[in-house]
Chain A
Amino acid sequence: MTAVPLGMPAFPRAAESAVGDPVLRGNLRHATHTIRAKRARAVAELDDWARLRAAGAAVKDRTLRHLGHYLEQLEASVTAAGGQVHWAADAAEANRIVTGLVRATGEREVVKVKSMATQEIGLNEALTAAGITAYETDLAELIVQLGDDRPSHILVPAIHRNRGEIRDIFLRTMARWGRPAPDGLTDDPAQLAEAARLHLREKFLRAKVAVSGANFMVAETGTLVVVESEGNGRMCLTLPETLISVVGLEKVVPTWRDLEVFLQLLPRSSTAERMNPYTSMWTGTTAGDGPGAFHLVLLDNGRTDALADQVGRQALRCIRCSACLNVCPVYERAGGHAYGSAYPGPIGAILTPQLRGTATALDASLPYASSLCGACYEVCPVAIDIPEVLVHLRERVVQGGAVTRQGARVTIRPAKGHAAERAAMRAARWAFQHPRALRAAERLASRTRAAHPSRLPSPGPAGAWSRGRDLPAVPAEPFRDWWQRTRGGRQEGTR
């Protein structure tokens, strides 16, 4: 995975600046609440949703258990259909392969279908370094690219921008990238969409090379599938001469029949649509129809290591619908950038530390970027128990232990900065194992309660708590003392 942008702060600090930005907060609140309500309605229409969800999880789990088998089948099918398969162990190798393939065509520009995998590996930056310009064609990705910004949502990368901001970006930078924005552009959505259409049409008609990802790969036929709402992806997938698809290993499904499940789960979970507007499927090459050359770059980049983690591997079921982002109270307030990777929100909080490890301060803070409210698990169409994985990864952060890195079993040390916390947890555990000591501590707190302040300066947990909240008052008498005082003779089970 690409390195975190230099100087990226750990999650709590990055979130703090987002929380303090009222425009961002407003944009995110409006967008996430709108889409979560729509999704709930779309899902409620199906009376077999729970069974579909279980089926989606089961298909993914079974495929992951036999991943090697299905990937080999996929490779054979793609090759037989006239495509070429490349295996990339990490981001650097994937970028090297794609850059080499583009160079071999003699072209200096590519059009891109929105793709999380290429964001994950930082492909655009790698292409730029090789003198190749990548043009994003998804409307939201275009807004991000023109704004010299970073995506902040899996499905709606420009969710943090409002219409006024988008108009300003179009007026300011479109001309630098190609066809300028029309004069007198307003923030009317139809006008903004038309400006993007005109701007992008030039690129579609000119480009000889396209780069895409895929939502699914069907092993039995070597077919790749992209689901999208705008049709720009289909333009990229059909018009150019060369198509390069970069896809994570976990996107393979065994058969076409499995698509039946996912093509119901995905649109309703992501865009709250009953059926996906554009579903494009391509299988190798066909003379006189579509790209004459097709390359599939199969991306590992930490996935087989994640697969070795029995609790964490369920993150690989993810179909990138982003329903978990849209219901997450933390994402809503912290924004996507705070997560410091291509995958923000609850799924990012578990996927990123698995793909990238927990060595950096940011990656070690991601499993804590949740109140464990469970709303993400409730909406996940493939039933990823995100809270369970978060707690599991927290354990990895504070206790260290055995993990798989680049195929080898290694023991990692606890992350730095948890020594005081660990000592406090141990002390608490000790007190909870010694009820007499606990009672003495409670009594002491009660007797001195008149002297307790309502806020304390940072640092420390009490300081962190009392930055925006008063410290709770301590009662005159703990419950267990009241019980003993009033019902001392009935104190069963004492030891």
Chain B
Amino acid sequence: MRVALFITCVNDALHPDTGRAVVRLLERLGVRVEFPAAQTCCGQMQYNTGYRHESEPLLRRFAEVFAGYDAVVAPSGSCAAMVRDAYPRIGARAAAEGRGGRLAELAASVAPKVFELSEFLVDVLGVVDVGAYFPHTVAYHPTCHGLRLLGLGDRPLRLLRAVRGLTLVELPGAEECCGFGGTFSVKNPAVSVAMGRDKVAGARASGAEVLCAADNSCLTHIGATASRLGGGPRMLHLAEILARTEADGPALAAPARPSRTEGGVQ
């Protein structure tokens, strides 16, 4: 099986540690992961803001870059959902408007191959215990697209429960949106920040040392809100927890994200 990593533009530019963790984790599980360097962005920001036409070339590029692979793993629920849920819609709309050439065909070819990380681990590799060690208290935030568009269900929780040393605690108001919403966060800043503050309050009330999610964009928003409020639990992508082993020791000696100094769990 040829497996490609779709790092996503946000992870590439802002959270390379997550990508490194995914590579480390998959290689530990015996998957030879490839990184097609021609990949860029899925076009979610353009599409969700109303610029469907601007997202079309990015759909095309995505489908072409990942054409030769059997599976594409993305450490982002919302980007995986963009490909799986929105690409077929974009293709269908373009076809209905008599444009787009093979866009619908390209969307149909690539959409079923894309997996969010926890789906790939549980459904494709069939593993729940990935051999991780993380001796900390963790609360899990099920991001909206992971929860409602992908239907990740309890996959991330099963993975976390199998991590040695990890104590999973409940996040109050877990299923409520954190308020990021892509450009929503800048178009409606007052509401977005109010939502983020409630999420931070929930994370603090959980007593967790770490707030975990399968999407760094939500974590960036929650972490940046917490930072302005004077701190909160450390934000960590699911991959960065699952990648750690006993040889790494405890994680929280390193500075917490999103501080102004560099993070780096690995």
* Residues of A in contact with B (beta carbons under 8 Å apart): 11-12, 15-16, 19-20, 25, 329-330, 333-334, 367-375, 377-378, 388, 391, 393-399, 421-422, 425-426, 428-429, 431-433, 435, 438, 442, 445, 454, 461, 464-465, 467-480, 482-484, 487, 490-495
Contacts and interface: CB of A to CB of B under 8 A. Distances in A.
A131 to B, nearest CB: 42
A373 B46 contact: no
Interface string B63-90: 0010010000000000000000000010
A472 B184 contact: no
A220 B170 CA distance: 53
Contact of A373 (B50, B181, B183): B181
Contacts of B55: 429
27 contacts: A19-B194, A369-B188, A370-B181, A370-B184, A371-B192, A371-B195, A372-B182, A373-B144, A374-B147, A375-B177, A395-B52, A428-B54, A432-B61, A433-B40, A442-B12, A469-B227, A470-B224, A472-B258, A473-B258, A473-B261, A474-B14, A475-B16, A475-B17, A483-B19, A493-B34, A493-B37, A495-B37
A399 B51 contact: yes
Of B12, B46, B176, B184, the most chain A CB neighbours within 10 A belong to B12
Given A398-B49, A494-B36, A15 B227 contact: no
Contact of A19 (B37, B54, B190, B257): B190
Contact of A480 (B7, B223, B224, B261): B7
B204 to A, nearest CB: 16
Nearest to B4: A493
Nearest to A452: B260
A11 B189 CA distance: 11
A491 B148 CA distance: 35
Contact of B50 (A334, A391, A467): A391
Contacts of A473: 14, 257-263
Contacts of A432: 9, 40-41, 43, 58, 61
A11 B192 CA distance: 13
Given A429-B46, A474-B13, A469 B196 contact: yes
B144 A374 contact: yes
Interface string B123-145: 00000000000000000000011
B177 A371 contact: yes
B50 A491 contact: no
B262 A476 contact: yes
Query: Which of B181, B189, B260 is most buried by chain A, counting CB atoms within 10 A of its CB?
Result: B189
Contacts of A12: 187-191
Contacts of A375: 144, 148, 175-177
Contact of B186 (A377, A461, A494): A461
Interface in B13-31: 13-17, 19-20, 23
Contacts of B16: 475, 477-479, 482
A287 B11 CA distance: 73
Given A15-B188, A398-B51, A479 B11 contact: yes
B92 to A, nearest CB: 11
Given A371-B179, A473-B257, 19 more contacts: A12-B190, A12-B191, A25-B194, A368-B187, A371-B184, A373-B144, A373-B177, A374-B144, A394-B50, A422-B51, A429-B46, A468-B228, A469-B225, A470-B224, A470-B228, A472-B258, A483-B35, A490-B34, A493-B65
Nearest to A388: B89
A374 B176 CA distance: 10
Given A19-B191, A426-B54, A479-B12, A378 B186 contact: no
A438 B40 contact: yes
A394 B54 contact: no
B191 A15 contact: yes
Contacts of A467: 189, 193
Nearest to B20: A482
B15 A475 contact: yes
A189 to B, nearest CB: 27
B220 interface: yes
A426 B179 CA distance: 25
Task: Report the 3 A-B pairs with minimum CB-CB distance, sorted nearest first.
Answer: A371-B181, A493-B36, A394-B50
B219 to A, nearest CB: 10
B95 interface: no
B68 A493 contact: yes
A330 B263 CA distance: 32
B167 interface: no
B201 interface: no
B19 A479 contact: yes
Given A368-B187, A465-B185, A479-B16, A433 B51 contact: no
B168 interface: no
A355 to B, nearest CB: 19
Contact of B37 (A428, A475, A491): A491
Given A371-B184, A473-B260, A479-B12, A378 B36 contact: no
B231 to A, nearest CB: 11
Given A429-B57, A475-B17, A373 B148 contact: yes
A453 to B, nearest CB: 10
A472 B34 contact: no
A479 to B, nearest CB: 4
Given A473-B258, A480-B7, A482-B16, A464 B189 contact: yes
A374 B197 CA distance: 20
Contact of B38 (A370, A397, A422, A495): A495
A388 B189 CA distance: 22
A396 B93 CA distance: 14
B13 A445 contact: yes
Contacts of B187: 12, 368, 464
A425 B51 contact: yes
A483 B37 CA distance: 9
Contacts of A435: 37-40
B169 interface: no
A278 to B, nearest CB: 33
Contacts of B19: 479, 482-483
B234 interface: no
A444 to B, nearest CB: 11
Contacts of A393: 50
